[in-house]
Amino acid sequence: MSALNIALVGNPNCGKTALFNRLTGSRQKVANYAGVTVERKEGLFRTPGGRSVRVLDLPGAYSLEAASPDEAITRDVCRGTLPGEAVPDLLVCVADATNLRLHLRFVLELRRLGRPMVLALNLMDVARRRGIRIDVDRLQARLGLPVVETVAVKRDGAAALLARLDDALPAAAEAVADDGDLHAQVAALMAECVALPASSGGLDDRLDRWLLHPVWGLVILAAVMFLMFQAVFSWAAPLQDALAGWISVLGEAVAGALPDGPLRSLVADGLFAGLGTVMEFLPQILLLFVFILTLEESGYLPRAAFLLDRPMRAAGLTGRSFIPLLSSFACAIPGIMATRSIQDPRDRLATILVAPLMTCSARLPVYTLLISAFIPRETVAGVFNLQGLVMFALYFAGVASALAAAWVIQRLRRGEGEHVLLLELPSYRLPNLLDLGIGLWERARVFLRRVTGIILSLTVLLWFLSSYPAPPEGAVGPAIDYSLAGRIGRWMEPLFAPIGFNWQICIALIPGLAAREVAVAALATVYALSTANDAEAISALSPLIAADWSLATALSLLVWYVYAPQCLSTIAVIKRETNSWKQAGIATVYLFALAYLASLVTFQLARALGA
Amino acid sequence: MTLPELATGRHAVVAAVHEQGPGDAVARRLRDLGFVAGETVRLVTRGPLGGEPLLVQVGATRFAMRRAEAARIRLQPQDA
């Protein structure tokens, strides 16, 4: 017997993905639908009766009148009109049993399509606890399609659905274009089959009173953000050090087994250095994902969007931009990936274009190096540490520039219709461990797949540029000076002289294109230091550059790093997420232009002031 | 009276969703979400800054919407 094709379809927040996880476990394939950035999730499982089933988790939709690319995909798959996608043998329509008034409307709309269909009443446990009584037999009779109860978060919570899949496919209703007012039909069904308690949603009310409070709501949001930053930047540090240590040990072992020569250099300085760069950020990014997934599953994230919509809109963004931008403080790549939750394409594009301005953690080694070398450890106004103030100013410059850039982008695109928020704030739920685990695994895999390929190929390319041609016999300067990268750096020098960069900095900018923090190691190479890691490079470099560069140059380079898209992975992800080389090009050009202008102003001003 | 004029915390009954121009997708979506004549809605709260967005409950569901979106929802006159 060939595999049965089913599709899970339902409103957002109906617990569809939890049911998908329950059915398939980790046997999931995540990709994109052809030509669009809508996630396509497919899984395989076997029913107790031995039937193998291929299940598609369709994007959540409120209606077949699609209002977003996600909803358009759901509509087309349900209608069987999406090219390259098999028509599902059975639609499993998932509805939240605690919110049937909203969800039944979509069930009725889907029924009009005249396809074999089963209704899964999910979250039945919560419905019972709240005193919602549903006459399932009567509902089944009135709807004319099989109705099963599911509790996606319980171990055997999908048993009734699985048993139904072993039976023969239900006969499809006849397709009708319009069978009257759906809301009236829902009201009739609700009156006949569902008994609601006198008051419901008491917990949501009590929580929202605090979490959306004009003062306490913002205080709690600030505390949550603080905790998240604390986790991402301090708790991840020991893990990062351990991982970096293992990778360098592994790299040395592998390199030691190879004969001395270009291959060994490629493996040690190219491949393992590149791999180390990626892996060092992995603990931070995983922790960030844990936080975001927990907040998302619990229902808090849309609340954060609610609280911040007004100020973000003033800057030309939307409340939904908040999470992508927050993620970008760790790394712009997961941040840009997270913009998929923004439905308005213009708002999404604006968020993607400004996300690289958030101070990601890869900038920290560069900032640390320059601040420790050039900014005195002084106390200002009695309490503030000058070095800390400069660091804060750099973060602040990033945020302020992002808001300003978003505002300009919005201005340039004015008059193209209304920007709509219309966002459901779902009921609060306790996050489920299985769903968290699967979500985390999925995001980590996507992140690694996106990044490793790019970083690895780039590091190899940059290794080649920095190693060839080799220095002539009896050369005295550092080897990189004679290489292609060195020549490019020298050639760039006149261009960068107005912003105060010497040829050493110009050379370091080239390998620094792979990832920002690589610039520190590259500077160490240019100054012919041999160091094992960033921390060592920073302490060895500080006195050298403090003697060699002017303060104006250092400030100019700091400002350069606030803006410059010195991270080709980010550019590649922008290309992937916007499906457009043009947008990736615009992002690159405007960020480099901003970097150059800001550094020019900084350098010339600082020099005029005698720095 | 329209939804944004409702006092925070108060209930009201929807009279109609008004279309702003032909084929107003926002109006259609509001109807799909359950804002139809005869439904009771409640303005749960407003955003902390500038009184926006509005948090509106219809049935068991809460939606955040901006004033311009909510202004499409006309309410039945209330008894004083």
Cβ-Cβ contacts under 8 Å, A198 against chain B? none
Confidence of residue A388 (pLDDT cuts 50, 70, 90): confident
Cis? peptide before A469, omega within 30° of 0: yes
Chain B interface, best mutation among A209, A221, A425, by max B CB count within 10 A:
A425
Mean pLDDT, residues A275-281 taken together: 69
pLDDT in tens, A327-371: 888 788 888 988 988 888 889 999 999 999 999 888 887 888 888
* Any B CB within 8 A of A101 CB: yes
Whether A422 and B30 lie within 8 Å, measured CB to CB: yes
Whether B60 and A99 lie within 8 Å, measured CB to CB: yes
Give A107 to chain B, closest Cα distance, Å.
12
Mean pLDDT, residues A501-530 taken together: 78
β-strand partners of B75: B14
- Residue B60 · residue A101 · CB < 8 Å: yes
Give A429 to chain B, closest Cα distance, Å.
14
pLDDT of residue A180: 78
Whether A423 and B65 lie within 8 Å, measured CB to CB: yes
Which candidate from B31, B53, B62 shows the least CB-CB separation from A309?
A: B53
Chain A interface, best mutation among B20, B43, B45, B62, by max A CB count within 10 A:
B62
pLDDT of residue A528: 65
Cβ-Cβ contacts under 8 Å, A201 against chain B? 57, 60
Got the DSSP string for A334-353?
HHHHGGGG--SHHHHHHHHH
Query: Which of A141, A75, A139, A74 lies closest to A104 in space, CA to CA?
Result: A139
Which candidate from B33, B34, B64 shows the least CB-CB separation from A421?
A: B64
Confidence of residue B77 (pLDDT cuts 50, 70, 90): confident
Give B33 to chain A, closest Cα distance, Å.
6
Contact partners, residue A422, CB within 8 Å, separation at least 6: B26, B29, B30, B33, B63, B64, B65, B69
Q: Which chain B residue has its CA at the smallest distance from A101's CA?
A: B59
Mean pLDDT, residues A406-414 taken together: 85
How many residue contacts between A and B have a Cβ separation below 8 Å? 101
pLDDT of residue A239: 84
pLDDT over 70 percentage in chain A: 95
* Any B CB within 8 A of A102 CB: yes
End-to-end Cα separation, chain A, in angstroms: 79
CA distances from A279 to A272, A520, A602 (A): 10, 18, 34
Confidence of residue A34 (pLDDT cuts 50, 70, 90): confident
Mean pLDDT, residues A379-387 taken together: 81
Confidence of residue A381 (pLDDT cuts 50, 70, 90): confident
pLDDT of residue B60: 85
Whether A309 and B63 lie within 8 Å, measured CB to CB: no
pLDDT in tens, A446-488: 777 766 776 677 777 777 887 778 777 777 777 777 888 888 8
Residue A179 has pLDDT above 80, yes or no: no
pLDDT over 90 percentage in chain A: 43
Average pLDDT for chain A: 87
Query: Which of A600, A575, A578, A599 lies closest to A588 in space, CA to CA?
Result: A575
Cβ-Cβ contacts under 8 Å, A425 against chain B? 55, 62-64
Mean pLDDT, residues A21-43 taken together: 87
pLDDT of residue A1: 57
Q: How far apart are CA A607 and CA A610, in angstroms?
A: 5
Q: Which chain A residue has its CA at the smallest distance from B23's CA?
A: A65
Mean pLDDT, residues A319-325 taken together: 89
Cβ-Cβ contacts under 8 Å, A213 against chain B? 48
Give B76 to chain A, closest Cα distance, Å.
18
CA distances from A283 to A59, A140, A289 (A): 29, 49, 10
pLDDT of residue A121: 96
Residue A102 has pLDDT above 90, yes or no: yes
Which candidate from B45, B52, B60 shows the least CB-CB separation from A101?
A: B60
- Residue A492 · residue A475 · CB < 8 Å: no
Residue A521 has pLDDT above 80, yes or no: no
Q: How far apart are CA A227 and CA A288, in angstroms?
A: 11
pLDDT in tens, A154-172: 888 999 999 999 988 887 7
Mean pLDDT, residues A383-398 taken together: 87
Residue A140 has pLDDT above 90, yes or no: yes
Mean pLDDT, residues A382-409 taken together: 89
pLDDT in tens, A41-83: 999 999 999 999 999 999 999 999 998 888 999 999 999 999 8
Q: How far apart are CA A527 and CA A373, in angstroms?
A: 15
Residue A272 has pLDDT above 80, yes or no: no
Give B63 to chain A, closest Cα distance, Å.
4
Whether B60 and A305 lie within 8 Å, measured CB to CB: no
Cβ-Cβ contacts under 8 Å, B53 against chain A? 306, 309-310, 319, 421
Mean pLDDT, residues A562-583 taken together: 90
Confidence of residue B76 (pLDDT cuts 50, 70, 90): very high
Chain B interface, best mutation among A74, A96, A100, A102, by max B CB count within 10 A:
A102
pLDDT in tens, A524-570: 777 766 555 666 777 788 888 888 899 999 999 999 999 999 888 89
Give A64 to chain B, closest Cα distance, Å.
10
Mean pLDDT, residues A385-390 taken together: 86
Cβ-Cβ contacts under 8 Å, A315 against chain B? none
Residue A193 has pLDDT above 70, yes or no: yes
pLDDT of residue A461: 78
Mean pLDDT, residues A105-133 taken together: 93
Residue A411 has pLDDT above 90, yes or no: no
Would you list which residues of chain B are within 8 Å, Cβ to Cβ, of chain A?
25-26, 28-34, 36, 44-45, 47-50, 52-53, 55, 57, 59-66, 68-69
Give B37 to chain A, closest Cα distance, Å.
10
* Any B CB within 8 A of A306 CB: yes
| pTM of the predicted model as reported, rounded to 2 decimal places | 0.84
* Any B CB within 8 A of A266 CB: no
Whether A212 and B45 lie within 8 Å, measured CB to CB: yes
- Tell me which of A250-254, A601-605, B3-7 is least confident: A250-254
ipTM of this model? 0.94
Mean pLDDT, residues B36-57 taken together: 92
Give the burial string for A68-80 (b: 16+ CB within 10 Å, else e). Answer: bbbbbbbbbbbee
pLDDT of residue A211: 94
Give A124 to chain B, closest Cα distance, Å.
15
Q: Which chain A residue has its CA at the smallest distance from B49's CA?
A: A310
Q: How far apart are CA A59 and CA A99, in angstroms?
A: 18
Whether A218 and B66 lie within 8 Å, measured CB to CB: no
Whether B65 and A105 lie within 8 Å, measured CB to CB: no
Tell which wins on pLDDT, B64 or A2. Answer: B64
End-to-end Cα separation, chain B, in angstroms: 13
Give the burial string for A310-346 (b: 16+ CB within 10 Å, else e). Answer: bbbbebbbbbbbbbbbbbbbbbbbbbbbbbbbbbbeb
pLDDT of residue A416: 65
pLDDT of residue A160: 93
Cβ-Cβ contacts under 8 Å, B73 against chain A? none
Cβ-Cβ contacts under 8 Å, A63 against chain B? 29, 32
Which candidate from A200, A306, A319 shows the least CB-CB separation from B60?
A: A200
| Residue A416 per-residue DSSP state | S
Q: Which three-class secondary structure state does DSSP give residue B60?
A: coil
Query: Which of A179, A62, A96 lies closest to B32 in space, CA to CA?
Result: A62
